[in-house]
Structure 1
């Protein structure tokens, strides 16, 4: 019952955060191409896959570099659907110094893949559905815990700051920290 009380406030908060997060970019997906606004207003999904949406947004360049180093670009450009909990560049910057550089080395590929696949849930899970879950089964085989408290949603210890960025092959939810399995 509490979920129904929290849900409207949560969704409103998430919508406000999305507007603040993407600024002058597309209000729904964050891409820099404003022509997408009309499509989103009509309720259409973004015309790019998850990887291209992340590239266009600009706030996910570290994530994109990690996905490329892990060899996961083709997978995340595939049919899906996928739900990606995407850490921003600022989220990656919170990691201890040198962590990103070490993870991007070829000898760390297995560890990088394990971390990145912990951010991906098979299927398309919209925010309204996620808030009723206690955990999300990730592609790497481990479940990420989900919690809702005072209108704030966390997954794997990371706070969700923007939701429901729809792509042709799934959806992106923005998080403020890198989740570690």
Structure 2
């Protein structure tokens, strides 16, 4: 009986992983800024989550649990990279955001080349502007604006008071707007 319950729990857990996969990937992409690193983070987070399935309490939201794992993995990787002071080769490339798995185009007709170029330029500008926003603010912005988590969820996930979350989001948006203005003005 115990084995059957564990197998059922594992199957439910795997279904939940698939359901929130796109949101987790988007969060990882927002942190890393490239497809390869985001995919690596998600894969490692899923592996860790599956290893710890026995400790997972199904009364809690799985996406929050996975966000926390991705966040911790990202922080650990940044620390390791900072101690080495090197840049991985894949970070030098220009991975396209629209190469993400599972993403579907929202239009039915093929867009014009001009539209594609404008869209790619806008995405590049947003990615560039986000890199100018310091980590705590960028993380809060990603969780709020991309993942659509509320302040309380972000507070619990990041481990800071709600007031700190609010100020990080406010300050992050200011810094993002400033970076976008600088980009638009050519600098």
Q: Which is helix-richer, 1 or 2?
A: 2
Higher relative contact order (CA 8 A, sep 6+): 1
On whether the aligned pair clears a TM of 0.5, the verdict is: no
Q: TM-score, normalised by structure 1?
A: 0.29
